[in-house]
Amino acid sequence: MLEADFFEVSDEFVNLANEMLDEWAQPMLSAAIMHAAARFNAFNYLSQGEQDSPAQAVEFLTNQYRQMLEESLRELKREQAVG
């Protein structure tokens, strides 16, 4: 997977969420996105043949989410300080 492709797909989800702000409250959208990600990642885990235990999959995914969230918070904070 190319990094540019990864961010392009990610940006498409963010753009969709931004469009949905016209109809839905931001906290509800945030919760719905997390729920959708959890459901899709559970589906992905099961479709991969369950090579790791469910606990290992949860630990891996929550660590990945934490890293991505922390990075996003740093980036947005930096952008706000500049803007």
- Tens of pLDDT along 39-78? 999 999 999 887 789 999 999 999 999 999 999 999 999 9
Instruction: For residues 10 and 13, give the distance between their C-alpha atoms in angstroms, rounded to a whole number.
Output: 5
First CA to last CA across the chain, in angstroms? Answer: 32
pTM here is 0.83
- Asked if 17 and 29 count as a contact pair (C-beta separation under 8 A), the reply is yes
Q: Read out DSSP for 28-58? A: HHHHHHHHHHHHHHHHHHHHTT--S-HHHHH
For the chain, what are the domain ranges?
1-51, 52-83
